[in-house]
Structure 1
Amino acid sequence: MKLYKALAITAAGSLFMGAAQAETYKIGITQNNVGVDSYQTTYEQAFIEAAEANPDVEVVVMDAGGDVARQIQQMEDLIQQNVDAIIIWPTNGQAVIPAVRKAAQEDIPVIVTNSNIAEEGFDFVASFSGPDNITQGRRSAEIMCDKFTEMGIEDEAQIVQITGQPGYTTAIERAQGFEDRLPEVCPDVTLMETQPGDWNREKSQTVMEAFLVKYDDIDGVYAGDDNMGVGALNAAKAAGRDGIIFVGATNFAVGYEAMDRGEYWGSIYQSPVDDAEAALQTAIDVLNGEDVPFLNYFDTPKITQDNMDEFSKPVF
């Protein structure tokens, strides 16, 4: 557990001896798995920096390390510490619902960040702050279809999909958005198989190696994030399989670099800094009694080789 406290008195405030200090909110966060990829590492750094910059916020920062049981225990710990609000990046959208419900019953507002919990738990959540993952999946399908149409293979293309961790809401929603949208825009494209890559580049490379052995003809790969997409790209390069269109989501630096080399076609631009700052601000807004939408999305636009110059290289 890491405790960060930001308490400061402004020069103007120090002139008024009797002025009441603003209330300091104690906000706890339990994250999914900081060490699994650079997005989550950057998110944590940005969250801490945002808290340190706010004199009215004290944060307790925890990481579940991808362990559902550990995250549930961290929720219990934060409830016992009587924090003012809890931010949770769920390890599993279904399994954490009882812990989220308990926090709500203790009148501690819960803000879900980045990846939502299952719908059954919505009654116990003050707000969700993060990307619209279904829209991301839909936009990735559009990117892939547009490229196939440009190539003239939209009536015959065959693709495979590599998803994130099973049971993880982001993985489920991005796959859902992609699978729902692709038949709408490119009805003759065939999705041959889907396998999980668990957000891991090395595992995704292994998954893609198996796809390459099994299928002689693969025109495209959709990966739930660029970390996995680049793993798949590495497998294809090692096997000498050229001409495959790679599309991801959450544009990592490695994805951006591969796009710049002309090896990776497109992705969805998403900032972990925006993600972290939005989560903290949502919690503060809820505690201040402001009107906060239940689904508090930030925008995640399409990025391809054609428009990548409009975007800065990701820092993660």
Structure 2
Amino acid sequence: MKMTATFAAVSAIALMSAPALAETMTIGITQNNVGVDSYQTTYERAFVEAANADPNIDVVVLDAGGDVARQIGQIQDLIQQKVDAIIIWPTNGQAVVPAVRQADRAGIPVVITNSQIAEAGFDFIKSFSGPNNIIQGEYSAQMMCDALGGEGQIVQISGQPGYTTAIERQKGFEDELAANCPGVEIVETQPGDWNREKSQRVMENFLTKYDKIDGVYSGDDNMGVGALNAAKAAGRADETVFIGATNFAVGYEAMGRGEYWGSVYQSPVEDAKNALETAKAVASGEEVPFLNYFDTPKITQDNMSEFEKPVF
């Protein structure tokens, strides 16, 4: 698990000495949609394994299935159960704010994981644990600029509309290109909803519409490989640079074949462990960083040998 040195040191001391951890605490988690991709599936498995390894922790593991109303109901259920802390992977960063406020009023600390909630909810949470999605978008833009030599026409396949991770990665990418690589033009953006099959269809439409596509930026490699598959089927993959923002195993393999240019390396195992450790800390009354990011470096064909193939 990667945390800032200060947070790691404080947590290590507090977790050994805090009286609250001498007794079992219950942490509830409501996730976005475990079945939508292998990242979330791996995250859940790692979360449960980490919790089971700690005899002082009980967990209530819930999944919203991508349904905002269901997630709000799950948060309310966890409040009624009087858990010691709640971890939320928001299905919609704006819609969950009222439920998060209810948890705060009930005296239950809330940790947001992986995808941030809307700013209106910041006063009601103790910490965000996850990647810096703005930075990830910026990294992807920098890789796209390098790959195209600063000039070209590209398309963008974004994540699920309304989903904070999708919004932030798109913003980071677009802002970085506008500021430092204006010669690369985004001709169109369409959502892929984190789904490979849908992203393949989106890319098929792009290929029909545009005779020249120099690059494709996708909000994660699951969508990016869908776009790559469409371009390969159309015989146009060799003329296009493909870049993602979370490196999946399929993206890693495509890099190894020279078909996929780059992405951002993000571990769902570290994501899950970081969220659990943050929740344990806030439940025991510790002060933690409001933005508790873990590292997500660039990965390209040139440096991929320095990274293990993702497990998702």
Normalising to structure 2: TM-score of the pair? 0.92
Q: Which residue of 2 aligns with 1:194?
A: 189
Say whether 1:180 aligns with 2:175.
yes
Q: Which residue of 2 aligns with 1:121?
A: 121
Query: Which whole-Å CA distance do the structure 1 matches of 2:226 and 2:119 have between them?
Result: 32
Letter in 2 for 1:301: P
Q: Which residue of 1 aligns with 2:25?
A: 25
Q: Which residue of 2 aligns with 1:97?
A: 97
Query: Which whole-Å CA distance do the structure 2 matches of 1:103 and 1:225 have between them?
Result: 31
1:125 Cα deviation after fit: 0.6
Q: Which residue of 1 aligns with 2:292?
A: 296
Say whether 1:213 aligns with 2:208.
yes
Say whether 1:279 aligns with 2:275.
yes
1:147 Cα deviation after fit: 1.1
Q: Is the 8 A contact 2:130 2:292 kept in 1?
A: yes
**Within-5 A mapping of 1:1-20:** none
Q: Deviations over 1:144-194 (max 9, x none)?
A: 111112xxxx23x00000000000000000000000001222111111000
Query: Which whole-Å CA distance do the structure 2 matches of 1:113 and 1:190 have between them?
Result: 32
Q: Which residue of 2 aligns with 1:4?
A: none
Instruction: Say which of 234, 245, 255 aligns to 1:259.
Output: 255
Q: Which moved more, 1:286-295 or 1:48-57?
A: 286-295
Q: Which residue of 2 aligns with 1:163?
A: 158
Q: Which residue of 2 aligns with 1:6?
A: none
Query: Which whole-Å CA distance do the structure 1 matches of 2:183 and 2:158 have between them?
Result: 22
Letter in 1 for 2:198: K
Q: Deviations over 1:232-289 (max 9, x none)?
A: 0000000000220000011000000000000000000000000000000000111222
SS at 1:187 equivalent: coil
Identity rate of aligned residues, in percent?
A: 75
Query: Which whole-Å CA distance do the structure 2 matches of 1:22 and 1:290 have between them?
Result: 15
Q: Is the 8 A contact 2:161 2:191 kept in 1?
A: yes
- Following TM superposition, the consecutive aligned residue runs of length 4 or more in structure 1 with deviations greater than 3 angstroms are none
Q: Deviations over 1:69-126 (max 9, x none)?
A: 0000000110111100000000000000010000000000000000000001100011
SS at 1:122 equivalent: helix
CA RMSD between the two structures = 1.2
Letter in 1 for 2:290: F
Q: Which has the higher helix share?
A: 2
Instruction: Say which of 224, 245, 248 aligns to 1:249.
Output: 245
Task: Label 1:21 to 1:216 Cα distance change in 2 as closer, same or farther (>3 A).
Answer: closer
Task: Label 1:53 to 1:216 Cα distance change in 2 as closer, same or farther (>3 A).
Answer: same
Query: Which whole-Å CA distance do the structure 2 matches of 1:66 and 1:187 have between them?
Result: 36
Q: Is the 8 A contact 2:109 2:125 kept in 1?
A: yes
List runs of 5+ in structure 2 lacking aligned partners.
1-19
Letter in 2 for 1:189: V
Equivalenced residues, count: 293
Query: Which whole-Å CA distance do the structure 2 matches of 1:184 and 1:98 have between them?
Result: 36
**Within-5 A mapping of 1:225-244:** 225-241=220-236, 242-244=238-240
Query: Which whole-Å CA distance do the structure 1 matches of 2:21 and 2:301 have between them?
Result: 51
List runs of 5+ in structure 1 lacking aligned partners.
1-19
1:21 Cα deviation after fit: 8.4
Letter in 1 for 2:123: D
Say whether 1:65 aligns with 2:61.
no
Query: Which whole-Å CA distance do the structure 2 matches of 1:21 and 1:105 have between them?
Result: 23
1:290 Cα deviation after fit: 2.1
Higher relative contact order (CA 8 A, sep 6+): 2
SS at 2:295 equivalent: coil
Letter in 2 for 1:198: D
Q: Which residue of 1 aligns with 2:15?
A: none
Say whether 1:224 aligns with 2:219.
yes
Which structure has the bigger radius of gyration? 1
Query: Which whole-Å CA distance do the structure 2 matches of 1:262 and 1:61 have between them?
Result: 39
Q: Deviations over 1:33-85 (max 9, x none)?
A: 00000000000000000000011100000000000000000001101111000
